[in-house]
Structure 1
Amino acid sequence: MNIKTIFNILFLISLSVSGQQLLTKQEAISVALENNYGIKIAKNNLKIAENNKNILNSGYLPTLDVNAGATYSLDDTEATYSDGRVTNLTGAESDRYNTSISLNYLLFDGMGRYYDYKTLKEQYNLTELQARQTIENTILQLFSVYYNVAKLTEDYSLLQQNLAISKDRLQRVQYQFEYGQNTKLAVLNAEVDVNNDSINLLNTKQLLINAKRDLYVVLGKEEAPNFTVDTLVNFNLAPSKESLFEKVKNNNVVLQQVEKNISINEFQIKANKSGYLPTIGLSGSYGWNKNNNNEASFLATSINNGLSAGISLSWNIFDGGSTKTLVNNAKINLENQELIKEETILDITRTFNNAYDDYVNKLFILQTQEKNVQTNTNNFNRTEEQFKLGQVTSIEFRQAQLNLINAINAKNSAKYDAKMAELLVLQLSGDLLNIDY
């Protein structure tokens, strides 16, 4: 691939990136919350949990049943009476109709229904926390990809500037060669550097396109990506490590889920103990019956209707030990949840300490890299002046150029690494959804 071909490709690339709209961080979050498939599934699970905790699923409401029926008979009958008379009936018709409505209500079930209802409410709260965790993980994934796009955007812009410098150097050494002030080797070295810089720019452009597609997957969008991103990074983490750790203990979504599981198991023990107590039920019904009999019956037509009501008590004095087994197993499950809580606290404490120290370390690296960029910028500017005056060689100028490019790349990487480290600390403290990005 010659230089002319590379320049033509780069010109087409520059046209392709023009006219792109800015996708801000807040807009990206809004789109992800609306379209991300994992978040959609979490929201649907929350709707199911909300339906489950409804009064209609609590067992507190009575049941109402309506029954109706009709019977038709066509019989051939021979009837013998007590006085000896015999009557034969052929095709004797009879029909019967009935309808009833019954109401049943469980008045007392040993408090099992009450604790089951409490459990359903806690399961809704648990599902709500699970949805929050899904959203937090999606936001972290979103920013990981978003900042990758931002990093590649800055890389692409930096490599464009780098290529422009190399092209200017090539033109300068060509002039110098034409006037006998430089050798052909310097021209060839400059051409090689232009080729390498052009290839790096093309590869970075492809990586940027791929990263934008990755971002659209997180956003749940299918169209071809045509946008730019905000490369500005603000750091929001101000509180001390101690105050942040207090937030971890109170607001961490994983710890809160463990607490909900403990509450659910406590209610489960109480619900299972309801098997030791009796149940009391109320019932009432109204029925209507009509019989149209054939001639063989003493009654041609009969109609019955009436109300009935009752109360029942049932007490399973001994159920073979199944209730005791359920209670014992529920207690063991509760003990397991308490152990999980202790393990989770230990794990999150370690994770928080590592994440916070990593954040502080990466902030220090960022500050160091910013100073390094300033140093290399001064060095490049001075080397460039000396190169134009012929006081340094083309190779020395190239080395100063590469040092500056590498320093800026390292600074940009440090910036986004520090930001992702901060977001992880914010997630652990439960503040990830409460900050201005």
Structure 2
Amino acid sequence: MESRHSQLFTVVTGLVLFASSLVANGQEMLSREDAMNLTLKYNYDIKVAEKDLEVANNNQSILNSGYLPSIQANGDIGVSGYQGENKTANGDFSYDPTEAYNYSGSVNLNYILFDGFGRMYNYKQLKELYNISELQARQIIENTVLELSNAYFLMAQLTEGVSILKNALSISTTRMQRAAYSFEYGQTTQIDLLNAQVDVNNDSINLLNTTQDLENARRNLNLIMRREIETEFVVDTTVSFSIPGTKEELVSQAYQRNVLIEQTNSQLRNSEFALKASQSGWFPAISLNAGYNYSGNRNPAGAFVTGSYNFGPQAGFTLSWNIFDGGATRVRNKNARIEIERQQVLKEQTEYSVKRDVLNAYSAYQNSLFVFNAEKANLETALKNFERSDDLYKQGQINSIEFRQAQLNLRNAQNNFSIAKYNAKFEELSLKQLAGILLEGL
């Protein structure tokens, strides 16, 4: 019997050591700030957003605006072959193959002086489109920061969960040893021993499963930070809270800084520029043309004029006015006005939606802080209850079932407190994102 219990104890000890080794190899302590910096620097989604922003920056360049003149250089040369006969005064004939050349070259400049302000508002649209791209990139960064924080807190919570379960397994193992010795000396029944063995097995399984979840969370966090997937590290499990402000202050900040509201404002400005650009079709266009031309030719032998050439500058203005374009400009103008009205509706809808989300998030954050403090009090009570139950169990005043219940109450209180702590912090970050202040200090 003693040998059997020793073997069981050896197996349990091996399970504890195996689970511990899975989380003890990581030597690096990775703070959330360090994880944030790595993510902002290397994350795949952020890198793609940066490339999109580079394209938008190229599009808003003066080189893509139509404000610069166009300059063209042209040149051509032509060769013609001739063969004929010449008749002399005494009646003789002679054949004289010859060639003729034509050549020309020019450099021309064209610049639009006025096009009904269409070019100006098109350029403002390009600038506004770049602003929209910046806001879209910021939205991706905010979502990625929130994703990273959620993954980091999950790993921290699982780290605490592993520690809690290791402690629970250690308590259960000690209890199983005590039950085995008591059974050998006839001080208790085999039922107590069997119950203790079942509890050890359950605690071992829970520890192994949670340890596996922790390893998966570490790999997921490495992916977000764009690091080698198997990189070992541990995370900081300390959390501090900072109240972002009153709900009135947060709503006010959201109206000014929320990325979705800023995007609708930018889209509305872009629609207003599009309306003004559409009106350019009602105005005349004036262009400046200038150039330098050179042309010449060489005629075949026997021609009256053997060759000529011309060169010199030229300049002028061109005015064009599309007096009636079949109503196309009028249609564009009407559609642009409708688009402005549409954007105004979307702006109002977004503002109300964001206000609702801020108020909901504020309530959720306050509730999560209440739950956090309540779970903290529950943990203190459960710890005192377990310590008292442990003393009574050692004195034989309570049975193993009552002791196990106190142990489970403590473990559940520890897990609930850990979960409540990270939930409250995540709610705080979500509230900051809605208020548009998530990236402050990053």
TM over 0.5: yes
Q: Residues 88 and 156 from structure 1, CA distance in 2 versus in 1: closer, same or farther, beyond 3 angstroms?
A: farther
Q: Residues 136 and 80 from structure 1, CA distance in 2 versus in 1: closer, same or farther, beyond 3 angstroms?
A: farther
- In structure 2, the residue matched to 1:366 is 372
When normalised by structure 1's length, the TM-score is 0.95
Query: Is contact 2:244-2:432 (8 Å) kept?
Result: no
Matches within 5 A, 1:238-253: 238-253=244-259
Using the TM superposition, give the Cα deviation of residue 297 of structure 1 relative to its aligned residue in structure 2, in angstroms: 2.4
- Give a deviation string over 1:248-278, Cα, whole Å, max 9, x none: 1111110010000000000000000011000
SS of equivalent residue, structure 1 residue 433: coil
Corresponding position: 1:430 with 2:439:
no
Provide the C-alpha distance between the structure 2 equivalents of 1:79 and 1:210, rounded to a whole number of angstroms. Answer: 99
The answer for unaligned runs of 5 or more in structure 2 is 1-6
- In structure 1, the residue matched to 2:20 is 14
Deviates more, 1:2-11 or 1:323-332: 2-11
Q: Residues 95 and 192 from structure 1, CA distance in 2 versus in 1: closer, same or farther, beyond 3 angstroms?
A: same
2:31 to 17, 24, 28: 24
Query: Is contact 1:42-1:134 (8 Å) kept?
Result: yes
Provide the C-alpha distance between the structure 1 equivalents of 2:235 and 2:84, rounded to a whole number of angstroms. Answer: 94
2:424 to 409, 418, 427: 418
- Give a deviation string over 1:216-264, Cα, whole Å, max 9, x none: 2222234313111111111122411111111011111100100000000
- In structure 2, the residue matched to 1:325 is 331
Q: Residues 86 and 162 from structure 1, CA distance in 2 versus in 1: closer, same or farther, beyond 3 angstroms?
A: farther
Deviates more, 1:71-80 or 1:200-209: 71-80
1:305 to 308, 311, 318: 311
- In structure 1, the residue matched to 2:134 is 128
- Give a deviation string over 1:79-111, Cα, whole Å, max 9, x none: 799x99997654312223322111110010000
Matches within 5 A, 1:147-296: 147-296=153-302
Using the TM superposition, give the Cα deviation of residue 397 of structure 1 relative to its aligned residue in structure 2, in angstroms: 0.7
Provide the C-alpha distance between the structure 1 equivalents of 2:70 and 2:338, rounded to a whole number of angstroms. Answer: 35
- Give a deviation string over 1:338-361, Cα, whole Å, max 9, x none: 000111112111111111111111
AA matched with 1:251:
R
SS of equivalent residue, structure 1 residue 432: coil
Deviates more, 1:217-226 or 1:18-27: 217-226
Provide the C-alpha distance between the structure 2 equivalents of 1:87 and 1:234, rounded to a whole number of angstroms. Answer: 112
Query: Is contact 2:19-2:207 (8 Å) kept?
Result: no
Deviates more, 1:223-232 or 1:132-141: 223-232
Provide the C-alpha distance between the structure 1 equivalents of 2:386 and 2:91, rounded to a whole number of angstroms. Answer: 133
- Give a deviation string over 1:172-220, Cα, whole Å, max 9, x none: 2222222322222111111111111001000001111111122222222
Using the TM superposition, give the Cα deviation of residue 142 of structure 1 relative to its aligned residue in structure 2, in angstroms: 1.0
Using the TM superposition, give the Cα deviation of residue 62 of structure 1 relative to its aligned residue in structure 2, in angstroms: 0.5
- In structure 1, the residue matched to 2:123 is 117
Query: Is contact 1:269-1:330 (8 Å) kept?
Result: yes
Query: Is contact 2:157-2:422 (8 Å) kept?
Result: yes
Provide the C-alpha distance between the structure 2 equivalents of 1:359 and 1:417, rounded to a whole number of angstroms. Answer: 9
- Give a deviation string over 1:374-427, Cα, whole Å, max 9, x none: 000000000001111111111111110000000111111111111111111100
Corresponding position: 1:56 with 2:63:
yes
Query: Is contact 1:77-1:296 (8 Å) kept?
Result: no
Provide the C-alpha distance between the structure 1 equivalents of 2:49 and 2:290, rounded to a whole number of angstroms. Answer: 43
Using the TM superposition, give the Cα deviation of residue 70 of structure 1 relative to its aligned residue in structure 2, in angstroms: 2.0
Provide the C-alpha distance between the structure 1 equivalents of 2:277 and 2:154, rounded to a whole number of angstroms. Answer: 51
Q: Residues 190 and 87 from structure 1, CA distance in 2 versus in 1: closer, same or farther, beyond 3 angstroms?
A: farther
Query: Is contact 1:236-1:435 (8 Å) kept?
Result: no
AA matched with 2:158:
L
SS of equivalent residue, structure 1 residue 224: coil
Q: Residues 153 and 103 from structure 1, CA distance in 2 versus in 1: closer, same or farther, beyond 3 angstroms?
A: same
**Identity, % of aligned pairs?**
44
AA matched with 1:143:
S
Q: Residues 156 and 302 from structure 1, CA distance in 2 versus in 1: closer, same or farther, beyond 3 angstroms?
A: same
Provide the C-alpha distance between the structure 2 equivalents of 1:7 and 1:77, rounded to a whole number of angstroms. Answer: 114
When normalised by structure 2's length, the TM-score is 0.94
Aligned length: 435
Matches within 5 A, 1:75-86: 75-77=82-84
Corresponding position: 1:386 with 2:392:
yes
- In structure 1, the residue matched to 2:361 is 355
The answer for unaligned runs of 5 or more in structure 1 is none
Corresponding position: 1:67 with 2:87:
no
Deviates more, 1:213-222 or 1:300-309: 213-222
- In structure 1, the residue matched to 2:105 is 99
CA-based RMSD of the aligned residues comes to 2.0
Deviates more, 1:32-41 or 1:252-261: 32-41
Q: Residues 181 and 61 from structure 1, CA distance in 2 versus in 1: closer, same or farther, beyond 3 angstroms?
A: same
AA matched with 1:290:
G
